[in-house]
Amino acid sequence: MKILLVTSSFPRWPGDWAGVFVLSLGRRLTMRGHEVTVLCPHAQGLPVRDVMDGVRVERFRYAWPQSVQTLAYGEGMLHNVRRHPLRLLLVAPYVLALGMRMRSLRTKHDVINAHFLIPQGITARVFGVRAVVSLHGSDVNLDLGPMGRRLMRFGLFRAPAVTANSRATAARTVGLVPGDRVKIIPMGVDAAAFGTAGKRSRTFGEGGCLRLICVGRLIRLKGQQYLIEALPAIRERFPQASLTLVGDGPDRDALAHLVQELGLADAVRFTGEIPHERIDGLLAEHDIFVLPSIVVESGETEGLGTVLLEAMAAGVPVIGSAVGGIPDIITDGENGLLAPQRSPNAIARAVLNIALDADLRERLATSARRDVRRRFSWEAIAEKFEELFNDVIGV
């Protein structure tokens, strides 16, 4: 089968985090014997055609000179436009370039899979391209008003199939597309790549030292401020408790100011962005992973929480907020703990419950590793996409 994956976010170089899940899906489908091409936006300094991990990559140019192509990547299209409103002028040339390239490639592929409704799914509809639309949360969680809902309905109306990465994302499609056309297929994790670094041999919590870690963009949606605010209560029981924040983003300065304000400069470390292949080693150095995501005012929230899957695969006990797609991953008390959003006290209680109960830690970690391999491995996810694509083309 010849498959075209269309996305606005894709790794620009080895180790880049942008849209790494699309590369992982393409790689696994290639391993299953399919010919996979990814169509994604060009950025300054990148080749127009490339091959990454056996997956062909076609990058379309949408503005000249190359340095002007700043709509995609970075913090994502929405955040890029919010920070620099003039980038709205790039939307029309982006859609035109994407649509024309999809039309030119459609006859060369058996199935087209557009990742993100905005703008890929809508663009496919505008240009008459029949595409399976994959929703990742950020594209349907926004409150865009009645006109925005009509636009989303337009983008999904003639899609032969729609996938959602979680039950929460699927619920947002009510009224946009018949429920029987929406299939829940989450993004996966390369389970075999995590847990290889091994855990430190020291006793858990030795000397009052407890190491927490959170991986994600430093934006309000990820809720890192509530984890920072939970740290003083945690340090009452574990005086040397520390927190590592992996990632970068527009909220870094505000979070650093909060750390100073709470007198936690010795306890919180900002690593900035690091290559994805180093995450397993970092997870192995820490005791508990926390993802304190929230629902922001626009309605946007965590579509799934793939970093949770990586921590679970690595054998690190996890805590997540009960928002968005996180409850699809964490069953409270079985493979992790859920906490109410925006609650430092709840986060602190969950951390201390895990830290003070060795049996709970072992049970959560064991169950989590089993669940990831069974439900969220890329082998299982690629098989589901393959079955869906076969249904669409009538095989």
In degrees to the nearest 10, what's the CA dihedral of 352, 356, 357, 360?
30
Domain check: are 221 and 336 in the same one? yes
Domain check: are 9 and 55 in the same one? yes
Cα–Cα distance, 387 to 389 (Å, whole number): 6
Question: What pLDDT shows up at residue 206?
Answer: 66
Question: What pLDDT shows up at residue 200?
Answer: 52
Query: Domain with 264 in it: what CATH number?
Result: 3.40.50.2000
Q: Which structural domain range is residue 272 located in?
A: 191-375
Low pLDDT (below 50) residues in the chain: 201-202
| Tokens, residue 102 | 């999809």
Q: Where are the alpha helices (DSSP H) in the chain?
A: 20-31, 77-83, 91-105, 122-126, 145-157, 167-171, 224-237, 252-261, 279-284, 306-313, 326-329, 344-355, 358-375, 378-393
Domain check: are 89 and 236 in the same one? no
Domain check: are 209 and 182 in the same one? no
Domain check: are 127 and 265 in the same one? no
Cα–Cα distance, 96 to 99 (Å, whole number): 5
Domain check: are 389 and 325 in the same one? no
Question: What pLDDT shows up at residue 203?
Answer: 61
Question: What pLDDT shows up at residue 157?
Answer: 86
Domain check: are 371 and 316 in the same one? yes
Cα–Cα distance, 269 to 242 (Å, whole number): 8
Question: pLDDT tens-digit profile of 84-103?
Answer: 999 999 999 999 999 999 99
β-sheet bridge partners, residue 5: 38, 113
Distance from the Cα of residue 72 to its chain's centroid: 16
Question: pLDDT tens-digit profile of 112-156?
Answer: 999 999 999 999 999 999 999 999 987 777 667 788 888 889 999
Domain check: are 125 and 209 in the same one? no
Question: What pLDDT shows up at residue 270?
Answer: 98
pTM: 0.89
Only one residue has tokens 């409704």, namely 117
Domain check: are 270 and 160 in the same one? no
Question: What pLDDT shows up at residue 76?
Answer: 82
Domain check: are 283 and 388 in the same one? no
Domain check: are 106 and 234 in the same one? no
Cα–Cα distance, 211 to 287 (Å, whole number): 5
How many domains in the chain? 2
| Tokens, residue 1 | 């089968």
Classify residue 233 as exposed, middle or buried by CB count within 10 Å of its CB (0-12, 13-18, 19+). middle
Cα–Cα distance, 77 to 70 (Å, whole number): 9
Question: pLDDT tens-digit profile of 220-238?
Answer: 999 999 999 999 999 999 9
Domain check: are 119 and 184 in the same one? yes
Specify the pairing of strand 55-60 against strand 49-52: antiparallel
